[in-house]
Structure 1
Amino acid sequence: MNKWGLRFIKLLGYLVVAAAIAFGVDLYRNNNVPTTLPDELTLTSLAGEPLSIAKMSEEEPVLLYFWATWCPVCPTVSPTVDWLSDDYNVISVALRSGHNTKISAYLEQQELGFITVNDTQGAIARQFNITATPTILIINNHKVTSATSGFTSPPGILARLWLSKF
C-alpha cells in the first residue's frame, strides 16, 4: 500500500475513534433524560400561548430544543432548529437567559423565529434532567425517542425526527 493509502486509513481510524468518543460523551450526558414526558407538562411561550408537548406529540414528533443566550455552541445549532421549525413542531426553551424582553431581543437580533419558552430558573430543564446546552429532545406520542447535546448537524436532526416515527 502506498503512503497516501496508509494516511487515509490512519485518518479514518482517528475519525472512528473521535466519533466513538463523541457518541460516548453524548450518551453519558443524556442517560438520565426521562423516556416519558413529565405529568401534565404545559409550557407558556414568550407570546403567552399555552403549549402542550404531549398533545402536540400525538400528531407529529416535537423537537424540544434547550439553549441559552450565553451558550457558545448554540449559535451554530439554532439556525438549523429555526429552519426546521418551518416544517416541524419545534419548541425552544431558553435556559437561564434572563427576562422575556432580553430573550425576545436576542431572538430578533439572531433572526430566529421558533416558538420559545423562558426557563428563567431552570425548572423545565430539571424536569428533563438537562445538564448541557444545546440539547435536543425528540418527543413522539408522549415519549422521548432521542436526546442529543452539543453540536448536531441538520442531517443528524432530520434522521432523529424520521426515526422517531418508528
Structure 2
Amino acid sequence: MVKSITAGEFKDTVLASERPVLVDFWAEWCGPCRMVAPVVEQIADELADRLEVVKVNVDDESTVAAEYNILSIPTLMVFKNGEVVETIVGFQAKPDLMAKIEKHL
C-alpha cells in the first residue's frame, strides 16, 4: 500500500531518500486521481526494490503542492537525489508511466 505523507514528512521521506521516489499528488474529489491510484499501487509493488512511492493529498498538504507548482491533479513526480527529474500530469496508462519512471531507476 502506498503511504500518504504530510508536509512535515516530505523532506525526510522524499528529498533525503537514497532511492528514487515517485510522489502522487492527488485529492479525494478528483476522478482521474482515483483512476490512477490502482496503477500507482501496482507500480509500487512491482518496483518496490528500486523505488519508493508516496502520496500527498493536495488539499491537506497545500504548502507542498504550492512549492512544487501543482496546478492540475493527478500529478506524479519522480524525485532523484532530492530533485524533480520527471513530471507526469493527468491520467496515463501503466505502460506509459512505467517507461517514464524506469528511465530514472
TM bucket (normalised to shorter chain) is 0.7 to 0.9
2:8 pairs with 29, 40, 43, which one?
A: 43
CA root-mean-square deviation: 1.9
1:95 and 2:95 aligned: no
Tell me the residue number matched to 1:53: 14
Question: For residues 90 and 132 of structure 1, what CA distance do their matches in structure 2 show?
Answer: 19
How far off its partner does 1:53 sit? 1.0
1:142-163 Cα distance to aligned partner (Å, 9 max, x none): 2211101111211122112211
Q: Which amino acid aligns with 2:53?
A: V
Higher relative contact order (CA 8 A, sep 6+): 2
TM-score, reference length from structure 1: 0.52
1:123 and 2:82 aligned: no
How far off its partner does 1:127 sit? 0.6
Question: For residues 146 and 139 of structure 1, what CA distance do their matches in structure 2 show?
Answer: 7
Match of 1:93, SS state, is strand
Tell me the residue number matched to 2:31: 72
2:92 pairs with 147, 152, 165, which one?
A: 152
Q: How many pairs are equivalent?
A: 95
Check conservation: 1:43, 1:52, Cα contact below 8 A: no
Q: Which amino acid aligns with 2:26?
A: W
Closer, same or farther: CA 91–43 of 1 in aligned 2, 3 Å:
farther
Tell me, which stretches of 5 or more residues in structure 2 are unaligned? 1-6
Tell me the residue number matched to 1:81: 40
Question: For residues 147 and 141 of structure 1, what CA distance do their matches in structure 2 show?
Answer: 15
Match of 1:52, SS state, is helix
Match of 1:77, SS state, is helix
Q: Which amino acid aligns with 1:131?
A: L
Check conservation: 1:63, 1:136, Cα contact below 8 A: yes
Q: Which amino acid aligns with 1:75?
A: R
TM-score, reference length from structure 2: 0.79
